[in-house]
Structure 1
Amino acid sequence: MKKRLLFSLLVMTSIVALAACGSSEKKAANSSQSSTTSKSTTKTSKEDTTKNKSVKEKVKQTMDGMSVEEKVGQLFMARVPEENQIADIQQYHLGGYLLFDRDMAGKGQSDLKQTIASYQAASQTPMFIGSDEEGGTVSRLSRNQIVSPAFESPQMQYQANGWDGITQDIDRKAQVFKELGIQIGMFPDADVSTDPQSFIYDRTIGMDAAGTSKYVTLSVDEMKKQNIGSTLKHFPGYGNNRDSHVEIVTDDRSLDDLRQNDFLPFEAGIKAGADSIMVSHNIVQAIDDKRPASISKPVHDTIRKELGFKGVIMTDDMDMAGLANFISQEEAGLQALQAGNDMILSSSYSTQIPYILAAIQKGEYSEKQLDQSVERLLTWKANLGLL
């Protein structure tokens, strides 16, 4: 009996020892994994800090070497003029060129690539080159057969291949952009539109606020992975309103309605890390019943303070009737900056830039605000690898 008891005690002691050993090994393994994760996180954090420091240094160095005239020029992403494309880059120190159909007419990929390269070679500060490539009815590259097959609309992509189709489409656009030297895609369209009769419907994903938010998030995520600049448009959202390309548009929806629906995709895009927001020319009565959104300070305060956006804010094209029929181009350019825009999309830069420079001299637009906008723009350029 004593022998059996002694044997049982020995067995139990061995089991406890083995268990303790296993526990120690497990703790050691967990400790090792924790240490590896910690090192990986620390490494990533250090890399991010180094990158941010490098970006800040590049931006500061670039700004330190700029005159006021050069800084003001950076605020303009211009329509490519029909003449003097190179001379205007140098004379007005333009921040970027936005490509339209006429800039691609009769050109193949190789021709367009060489043209874009000539713009960059002429510019002292590397330029943004942007293109409207929502797909479907708004695709400059597709309409000029520079890409084949054509980029389809978000709705067509989704109907054919679901959310994977959206991702694959952006990947394809990114490869074409990189080949040509384009850095900014003027998309995704964050407008919530469910009425097939509304002018903006075909350009959107055609879903409610939740579906549009998912589309925007997916698009911005993929564009960031591909290092292509993203633009959420057209704040605060067209909804089912009329077309401000051809007339002054008044939006009479309540602020609660905008917050519960139209703001949501913009908030989703901001959370995903969108680079810029384009502001429409609609007069949004619930926020500012006197001015188009693109030149309204209350609208821009909503973007900065309520939505918490820290990136680049830009106007929609200033040649559109929704603004051009409301105010002169010169005054529109100045008021856009006073309202809080960082970048102006315009073909009237040759008169707007001198007007803004005069306003700086008169104290109507401060150099402090100018520097804040230029810093945002150059930071974006640095993040895209232009600086």
Structure 2
Amino acid sequence: MMKKLFSLITLFAVAILCVSCNFENSSSSENVINTTEHQNTTVQPTTISEEEKAERRIDKLISEMTIEEKVGQMFFVRYPDIDAAQQVTEYNLGGYILFGKDFDGKTREEITDNITSCQESAKIPLLIGVDEEGGTVVRVSSNENLRETPFLSPRDTFANGGWSAIEEDAAQKADLLLSLGINVNLAPVCDVTSDYSAFMYDRSFSGDADEVSRFVKKVVEISSEKKLGTVLKHFPGYGNNEDTHTGIAYDNRDFSAFTETDFKPFLEGINSGADCVLVSHNIVSCIDSEYPASLSKEVHNLLRNQLGFDGVIMTDDLSMGAITDYTGTENAAVLAIKNGNDLLCCSDVEEQYPAVLLSVQNGEIPVEQIDNSVKRILKWKQKLGLIE
């Protein structure tokens, strides 16, 4: 009897043990299923585009810059006769513009050494620019050590060989400038000029807006492919006005003249990838009858909003007569920034830079506005391969 009872107890215990094992195995299976389901529903990280990565690098760079460095990036100044590399460090410059005297009689090696010295002194690589339009404005090719003959004007180039000659001319200019360490050509001229006696006639491509637009498109696209920066000038369109190097020029045309003619080449250049637009010193009465275009908030708003330009807006030289006569004792660079310019072309950085810096430090110019301008400038440099 006892033996039979013992066997029943044993069988009962084994049965309980089996039930327990099945329960554990079932729970384990459910856990595996739940874990798998959890893994399958985990949100994968969003892929960041190369463009977004590039912009984040620019934002990080700006966050690490001092106010002095940010302000300095907004100055694209005339190359000085002495201490060029030292000036880069002193003012944290955004770039240098070289003129004919900086090439006159120099060898290729001398020029490249000078540019390299300045770049080595810069914390952020410099924009190095020239006006190499062709014809009457040939800062580089007028030196026979650099090119056998100067570049012809756009008008003459086209007359000699049509559109294929324009394309070859743009490619040759880009190759020459880049070989010297120059990364920006202050061209093409977008002005539509038909009057033989007008100041801009020899520098303009044509009196036909559609032809000028086609010319601008070709120059911008070829230059961009080679990573040479371009500057569309002189917004909102110079027309047949007089020279603003010596005094103020008044443009009293109707606004329709600009929408139907002058704006067309600028729009074509913007749509073709130009990164910078240079604003003239003309007073364009139909847009702003009080301020020269370079100092006019209305002109800059029009360029941003109506033409949709989100790149770098640059002044013509702030030391030109049209500005010095107008501003009097006021600081031209401060006015230029307040009214919408990102990049300041000037010949007296030692006066203009401290005035801008002080205006930022005392809150007269918002730091946010400076950051926005610097971001546009650095994105341009990034596109040209000067920074990552």
Question: Do they fold alike, i.e. is TM over 0.5?
Answer: yes
What are the superposed Cα offsets for residues 266-302 of structure 1, whole Å, 9 maximum, x if unpaired?
A: 1111111111100000001001100100010000000
Alpha-carbon separation, structure 1, partners of 2:369 and 2:328? 22
Change (3 A) 1:58 1:147: farther
Bigger drift between 50-59 and 148-157 goes to: 50-59
Identity %: 40
Matching of residues 110-149 of structure 1 within 5 Å: 110-145=109-144, 146-149=146-149
Alpha-carbon separation, structure 1, partners of 2:361 and 2:172? 46
What are the superposed Cα offsets for residues 113-156 of structure 1, whole Å, 9 maximum, x if unpaired?
A: 11111110011110000010101100101223322221111011
For structure 2, the residue ranges without an aligned partner over 5 or more in a row are 1-46
Q: What is the match of residue 277 of structure 1? A: 277
Alpha-carbon separation, structure 2, partners of 1:144 and 1:50? 44
Q: What is the match of residue 240 of structure 1? A: 240
**Larger Cα-atom Rg:** 2
**CA offset at residue 328 of structure 1?**
4.2
Matching of residues 76-225 of structure 1 within 5 Å: 76-145=75-144, 146-225=146-225
Alpha-carbon separation, structure 2, partners of 1:234 and 1:332? 18
Change (3 A) 1:102 1:329: farther
**CA offset at residue 64 of structure 1?**
2.2
Alpha-carbon separation, structure 1, partners of 2:129 and 2:200? 21
Alpha-carbon separation, structure 1, partners of 2:53 and 2:384? 13
Change (3 A) 1:286 1:143: same
Which amino acid is 2:380 matched to? W
Bigger drift between 75-84 and 58-67 goes to: 58-67
Alpha-carbon separation, structure 2, partners of 1:304 and 1:246? 29
What are the superposed Cα offsets for residues 296-316 of structure 1, whole Å, 9 maximum, x if unpaired?
A: 000000000110001110001
SS in 2 for 1:148: coil
**CA offset at residue 330 of structure 1?**
5.8
Q: What is the match of residue 16 of structure 1? A: none
Alpha-carbon separation, structure 1, partners of 2:175 and 2:309? 28
**CA offset at residue 338 of structure 1?**
0.7
Q: Which has the higher helix share?
A: 1
Alpha-carbon separation, structure 2, partners of 1:142 and 1:236? 28
Which amino acid is 2:245 matched to? H
Alpha-carbon separation, structure 2, partners of 1:50 and 1:149? 45
SS in 1 for 2:308: coil
Q: What is the match of residue 294 of structure 1? A: 294
What are the superposed Cα offsets for residues 217-273 of structure 1, whole Å, 9 maximum, x if unpaired?
A: 111111111111111100011111111111111110111111111111111111111
Q: What is the match of residue 325 of structure 2? A: 325
- Answer whether contact 2:220 2:272 (CA < 8 A) is retained: yes
- Answer whether contact 1:329 1:348 (CA < 8 A) is retained: no
SS in 1 for 2:227: coil
What are the superposed Cα offsets for residues 157-205 of structure 1, whole Å, 9 maximum, x if unpaired?
A: 1001101111101110111122111110100000000111111011011
Q: What is the match of residue 263 of structure 1? A: 263
**CA offset at residue 98 of structure 1?**
0.2
Alpha-carbon separation, structure 2, partners of 1:283 and 1:302? 15
Alpha-carbon separation, structure 1, partners of 2:366 and 2:316? 23
Alpha-carbon separation, structure 1, partners of 2:80 and 2:324? 18
**CA offset at residue 50 of structure 1?**
4.1
Alignment RMSD (CA, Å)? 1.4
Change (3 A) 1:329 1:268: farther
Which amino acid is 1:344 matched to? L
Alpha-carbon separation, structure 2, partners of 1:312 and 1:373? 7
Which amino acid is 1:340 matched to? G
Which amino acid is 1:168 matched to? E
- Answer whether contact 1:55 1:383 (CA < 8 A) is retained: no
SS in 2 for 1:141: coil
Alpha-carbon separation, structure 2, partners of 1:117 and 1:51? 29
Matching of residues 36-115 of structure 1 within 5 Å: 50-115=49-114
Which amino acid is 2:72 matched to? G
TM-score, structure 2 as length reference: 0.85
Matching of residues 312-351 of structure 1 within 5 Å: 312-328=312-328, 331-351=331-351
Which amino acid is 2:103 matched to? M
Alpha-carbon separation, structure 1, partners of 2:361 and 2:123? 24
**CA offset at residue 57 of structure 1?**
3.1
- Answer whether contact 1:283 1:293 (CA < 8 A) is retained: yes
Alpha-carbon separation, structure 2, partners of 1:243 and 1:333? 21
Alpha-carbon separation, structure 2, partners of 1:371 and 1:191? 31
What are the superposed Cα offsets for residues 198-218 of structure 1, whole Å, 9 maximum, x if unpaired?
A: 110110112311111111111
Moved >4 Å (runs of 4+): none
- Answer whether contact 1:288 1:296 (CA < 8 A) is retained: yes
Q: What is the match of residue 376 of structure 1? A: 376
What are the superposed Cα offsets for residues 34-64 of structure 1, whole Å, 9 maximum, x if unpaired?
A: xxxxxxxxxxxx9xx7431342133123212
Q: What is the match of residue 304 of structure 2? A: 304
Change (3 A) 1:50 1:109: farther
Which amino acid is 1:147 matched to? R
What are the superposed Cα offsets for residues 35-94 of structure 1, whole Å, 9 maximum, x if unpaired?
A: xxxxxxxxxxx9xx7431342133123212210000000000010111221111101000
Alpha-carbon separation, structure 2, partners of 1:82 and 1:283? 32
- Answer whether contact 2:142 2:149 (CA < 8 A) is retained: no
Which amino acid is 1:181 matched to? G
